[in-house]
């Protein structure tokens, strides 16, 4: 946050866009999507490589393959959800302004 000499902390348009981009980049849906895709790849590979041994234990169902594919689909859905319905820019900036106000109150000044 860049503060000017008057004690306020106005952000330029470029700083606001950078803050919005970084907030959206670390959206929980992206993190969950990445984890599901990663685990889905691992479990799918296990299902393809070691399918016969697991089929005996699960009654003929290749459980690792199917659960791995389901995790891959779920991970992709999380990414699509974040892409189709991103957090509104206004909400992100309101949160930033609220954080600035709370910080200013703690320092004994007003914005």
Per-residue model confidence (pLDDT) at position 110: 65
Per-residue model confidence (pLDDT) at position 79: 95
Per-residue model confidence (pLDDT) at position 92: 80
Per-residue model confidence (pLDDT) at position 1: 45
User: 42 near 68, Cβ under 8 Å?
Assistant: yes
User: 41 near 72, Cβ under 8 Å?
Assistant: yes
Return the percentage of the chain with pLDDT > 90, whole number.
Answer: 35
Tell me the helix, strand and coil percentages in the chain, rounded to 5.
Answer: 75, 0, 25
Could you give the 3-state DSSP secondary structure of residue 37? helix
User: 30 near 79, Cβ under 8 Å?
Assistant: yes
pLDDT of 62 over the 80 cut: yes
Give the span between the Cα atoms of 33 and 24, in whole angstroms.
14
Residue-wise pLDDT tens digits, 7-59: 455 777 788 788 888 888 888 999 999 999 999 999 999 989 986 777 777 88
User: 47 near 62, Cβ under 8 Å?
Assistant: yes
Per-residue model confidence (pLDDT) at position 39: 98
Q: Which long-range contacts does 64-67 make (Cβ < 8 Å, 24+ apart)?
A: 67/43
pLDDT-based confidence at 66, cuts 50/70/90?
Answer: very high
Rounded to an integer, what is the distance from CA 23 to the centroid of its chain? 9
pLDDT-based confidence at 3, cuts 50/70/90?
Answer: very low
């Amino acid at each position: 946050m860049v503060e000017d000499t008057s004690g306020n902390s106005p952000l330029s348009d470029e700083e606001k866009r950078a803050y919005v981009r970084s907030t959206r980049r670390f959206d929980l849906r992206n993190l969950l999507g990445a984890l599901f895709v990663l685990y889905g790849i691992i479990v799918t590979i296990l299902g393809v490589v070691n399918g016969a041994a697991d089929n005996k234990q699960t009654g003929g169902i290749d459980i690792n393959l199917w659960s791995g594919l389901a995790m891959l689909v779920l991970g992709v859905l999380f990414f699509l959800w974040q892409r189709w319905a991103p957090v509104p820019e206004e909400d992100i900036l309101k949160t930033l302004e609220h954080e600035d106000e709370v910080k200013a109150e703690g320092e004994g000044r007003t914005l």
